[in-house]
Amino acid sequence: MNVLIFATFLSLFSMDYLANNLEVIPKRLFLIPEGLAAATMIIVILLGISRRQLFMAPKYAIFLLWFLLAIVAGLVINQVDPLVAISGMRIYLKSIPFFLLPMVYSFSEKQIKWQLYFLLALCLTQIPVTFYQRFVQYAGLPTGDVVGGTLGVNTSGILSVILIFGIAILVAMLVKKRLSAWAAIPLILLLFAPTTINETKVVLLLFPFVLISPIFFAPGIRNRGRKLLLLSVIGTIFMLGFFIMYDLLQGDREGTLLERMKSGNMFSYMYKQDQVGKFSELEVGRFDAVAYAMGKISDTGNSIFGVGIGNASPSNQAALEGEYYKKWYWMAPAKVMLSRTLWEMGYVGIILYGALFLFLFLDAKVLAKGDDFTAAFALGWLPITLIVAGSFVYFSTFATISISHLFFLYAGYIASERYQRQSQALRDSEQFKRSDPRRFAAKINPNTKKPVLTSLHQRPDNMLS
């Protein structure tokens, strides 16, 4: 199964770059990641039929059911053109097969480790590529927006977020003592390096967050103060390097980064208010796009289910471009995932995505209580879940196939692991009860109604973690 996963990872980190940046392969080949998703869906169906088991908690089944119903409702109510609807499905449903895969196929710890090793290698490959792009290929350009590594054209922000995900996992492994400081710190530095030259200012918020948050998320961690101090020192040094590199590359074009932060103009591109003109979507800030979406779906009576998936999305082909996008393109309806979802799925879509993030966060929080490899990964997944949720106001998250595929694959892994461990705990509890019912009945806590046992491996409530 890892062959499929490795092929997907490799395609995510190369196809768009080779097709649209270097132009050394046919442009249609950048669709290979979507083809692999379709192949994964076939595998999911075949495994589900042959094995007749699904490691899925009812809450995720309910989420998927409501998600599909919301999509169908929006399409039917608005009578969306079938071609436009298919285009919309590529955005909202393309990564669902990877979410379902761990629920029909239980990945071993060894397989997950090799996946992470492979992803780490792909992330480290971004270092020479990004430095070549910044200082050789695009040396004459005054912006770092073109420095996206091998992810494709204008993917600097996407690359930075994926590298931040990698740092989150490394920090969690360090906190859980699955990785030594001598290995973790150099790797964190290497993954951080490309973010200093592509001018992704949101890194100023994300990097300190993923560096410090595992300390607070990890339950019962030893030497919490010492680890917090160590990571704070590392973060301060790295952030100082970010400031220095940013100012060196910018020169006097916009003043120093510190001056921009003091002036309050650093994130002015997020919300432009009266500066927005009704002729170019490029002028619309991210928060402006969200405000426009909220106002327009209210005016048109589409607040509940939106105008239908794909109906407010742009496309390279006129036949696939949404009706509402053609009419209101200057409002940049697809600017960020929050505005896109409001337009196309209404407030129901926002509620459903919010529920998904909450489910994943709570499951990861339970898994993180353990001491094994999965617990360490789950600890890193906690800030990743929050970042993906927060990214809904920064870019069109799930329209970005690299983030979408990676997120849903490991979201499925977290959900599956939580379900399997909980199910095993319940089976062990029932087996213990049948083996010695008198002893079991005699040791019921009258207040909590839970068994009170002395042996850790026999304690059902602990097994849930």
DSSP one-letter string for 400-418: SHHHHHHHHHHHHHHHHHH
User: In one letter, which amino acid is 415?
Assistant: A
Position 447 pLDDT exceeds 70: no
For residue 156 the two structure tokens come to: 């600097």
The pLDDT of residue 145 is 77
Q: How confident is the model over 243-268, as pLDDT tens digits?
A: 777 667 665 556 555 555 555 555 55
H-run or E-run covering 45: helix 32-51
Q: Which residues pair with 444 in a beta bridge?
A: 451
Q: How confident is the model over 332-385, as pLDDT tens digits?
A: 888 899 999 999 999 999 999 999 999 999 999 999 998 899 999 999 999 999
Burial of residue 375, with CB atoms counted within 10 A of its CB: 0-12 exposed, 13-18 middle, 19 or more buried: buried
Buried/exposed code over 250-285 (b: 16+ C-beta within 10 A; e: otherwise): beeeeeebeebeeeeebbeebbeeeebeeeebeebb
Position 153 pLDDT exceeds 80: no
Cα distance between residue 101 and residue 59, in whole Å: 17
The angle at the Cα of 123, spanning 217 to 403, to the nearest 5 degrees, equals 65
Q: How confident is the model over 177-205, as pLDDT tens digits?
A: 899 889 999 999 999 989 888 877 788 88
Cα distance between residue 50 and residue 44, in whole Å: 10
By the 8 A CB rule, do 306 and 342 touch?
yes
- Sign for the pseudo-dihedral over CA of 399, 405, 407, 409: positive
The pLDDT of residue 457 is 42
The pLDDT of residue 39 is 95
User: Between residues 430 and 307, which one has the greater pLDDT?
Assistant: 307
Cα distance between residue 254 and residue 270, in whole Å: 17
Q: 198 by DSSP, 3-state: which?
A: coil
Q: How confident is the model at residue 456 (pLDDT cuts 50, 70, 90)?
A: very low
Domain chopping of the chain, boundaries: 2-269+337-410, 422-463
Q: 451 by DSSP, 3-state: which?
A: strand
For residue 54 the two structure tokens come to: 């699904």
